[in-house]
């Protein structure tokens, strides 16, 4: 494989540690796309004769057909996808295959392949995230007025609506999609033609190659072209943040489906049983989404550590970019699909949610606001009055709405029975009409707006 410089082959363990074909074979479609673009450019630039270009193009398409059909033999001794394709090409078209590598190196070739794969994958992830947003927005519209407890510190805070809660994740996913698109935009420069590290003396047309592969432009510095893995790091960073968002919602599903909460139900399609406890219905899909965030975050950390000490330009260390990136982005794809399925399967239990929304003195802030709005108390004074009334209700084992008016007036004589209108959870959420608030009309408008925005964007 290495011609005259080496007199013997590698040791078996060297071959084992050096070979990447076991995982980079998934780059075959991108590798062949890049090679077809490269050879077409070599022909147009007059670097290769038309006869050789035609042979190579036909041979590459034949190799592509074998790979797609599953009949292609991937051999470890050929190290990677690039040499595997070139070797088979030589078997098909003969010595002309050797001309394909004119004016390029495996260094710029693999960088191009990886960029193409990451770009394709980011596009797919964006569509999947949009589909999850759609599922959430549809459920949010249906439950725009379904009252539930809002939490801080996982303690009852103020009533919100189930639809409002879901739309919080729609917003998170939209930021995730923005990061996917930003990463895609920055990676969309073509390394092909940078060769090993210094460029090439052949009169190639890198702009033509970049254009034919759908890149915005060629990369501007040959050293950076082959040494850069920022595009993978940025994609992994966006993926890690998205995975954290999915994990947070998965955690809520796990809590909400427990017997102690009973806020929502999942069907048999997204739960499993126990081998010993016949009553169990375990939210395993949510638990696995929660757990798989660790793999995605780990891939980002791993590649950062690989890259942190590498001098320019290419080092074999960079071969370690692939397995983690492949696994992380495909894991995120699986998690997005599972979460979209769970959201469409999710069945809130409104009666339970409503009772929980009123527990823990969740309308105390509404009482304080009423004292400010109706009686003109400074908020800090209203806060103190409300706190004392909450303490009184707690000592009696009743809710605020059950406190006798006379007890309230003992703390603040100007309180009237009009106060009871704000102590119900429905009135509480209806009053939160500020932009972005949980008022059902707000939630309906937001959900409808998202449904319009998402039309035609899903995978």
> Catalytic amino acids?
153, 274
List of residues 6+ apart from 80 with CB closer than 8 A:
19, 20, 21, 24, 106, 110
Write out the two tokens for 424. Answer: 């119900």
Distances (CA, A) of 55 to 274, 312, 320: 60, 36, 34
- Judge contact between 439 and 430, C-beta under 8 A: yes
C-alpha distances in Å from residue 336, one per residue of 126, 134, 232, 242, 308: 10, 12, 19, 9, 30
**Rounded Cα gap, residues 121 and 333, in angstroms:** 9
Cβ neighbours for 242, distance < 8 A, ≥ 6 positions apart: 125, 129, 173, 176, 179, 180, 332, 336
Asked if residue 126 lies in contact with residue 175, where contact means CB atoms within 8 angstroms, the answer is no
Q: Which helix (H) or strand (E) holds 132?
A: helix 106-142
CA distances from 309 to 116, 304, 306, 318 (A): 25, 9, 7, 11
Cα-to-chain-centroid distance, residue 280: 31
């Amino acid at each position: 494989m290495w011609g005259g410089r080496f007199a013997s082959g590698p040791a078996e363990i060297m071959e084992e540690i050096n070979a990447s074909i076991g995982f980079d074979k998934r780059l075959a479609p991108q590798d062949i796309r890049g090679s077809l673009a490269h050879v077409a450019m070599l022909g147009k630039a007059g670097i290769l004769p038309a006869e050789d270009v035609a042979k190579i193009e036909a041979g590459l398409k034949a190799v592509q057909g074998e790979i797609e059909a599953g009949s292609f033999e991937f051999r470890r001794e050929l190290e990677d996808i690039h040499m595997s394709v070139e070797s088979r090409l030589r078997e098909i078209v003969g010595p002309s295959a050797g001309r394909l590598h004119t004016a390029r190196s495996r260094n710029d070739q693999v960088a191009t392949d990886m960029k193409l794969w990451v770009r394709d994958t980011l596009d797919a992830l964006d569509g999947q995230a949009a589909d999850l947003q759609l599922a959430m927005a549809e459920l949010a519209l249906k439950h725009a007025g379904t009252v539930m407890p809002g939490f801080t510190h996982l303690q009852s805070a103020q009533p919100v609506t189930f639809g409002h809660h879901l739309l919080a994740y729609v917003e998170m996913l939209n930021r995730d999609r923005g990061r996917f698109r930003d990463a895609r935009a920055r990676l969309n420069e073509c390394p092909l033609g940078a060769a090993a590290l210094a460029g090439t003396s052949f009169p190639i047309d890198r702009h033509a190659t970049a254009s034919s592969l759908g890149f915005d432009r060629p990369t501007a510095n040959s050293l950076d072209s082959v040494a850069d893995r920022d595009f993978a790091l940025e994609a992994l960073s966006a993926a890690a943040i998205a995975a954290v968002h999915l994990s947070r919602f998965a955690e809520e599903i796990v809590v909400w489906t427990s017997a102690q909460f009973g806020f929502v139900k999942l069907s048999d399609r997204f739960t499993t049983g126990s081998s010993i406890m016949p009553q169990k219905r375990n939210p395993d899909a949510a638990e696995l989404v929660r757990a798989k965030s660790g793999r995605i975050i780990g891939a980002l950390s791993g590649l950062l550590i690989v890259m942190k000490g590498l001098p320019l330009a290419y080092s074999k260390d960079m071969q370690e970019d692939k397995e983690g990136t492949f696994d992380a982005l495909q894991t995120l794809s699986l998690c997005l699909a599972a979460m979209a399925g769970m959201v469409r399967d999710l069945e809130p239990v409104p009666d339970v949610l409503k009772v929980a929304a009123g527990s823990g003195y969740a309308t105390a802030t509404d009482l304080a606001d009423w004292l400010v709005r109706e009686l003109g108390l400074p908020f800090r004074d209203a806060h103190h009055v409300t706190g004392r009334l909450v303490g009184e209700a707690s000592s009696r084992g009743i809710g605020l709405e059950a406190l006798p008016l006379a007890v309230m007036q003992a703390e603040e004589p100007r309180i009237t029975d009009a106060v009871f209108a704000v102590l119900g959870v429905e009135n509480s959420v209806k009053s939160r009409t500020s932009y972005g608030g949980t008022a059902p009309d707000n939630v309906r408008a937001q959900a409808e707006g998202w449904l319009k925005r998402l039309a035609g964007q899903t995978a």
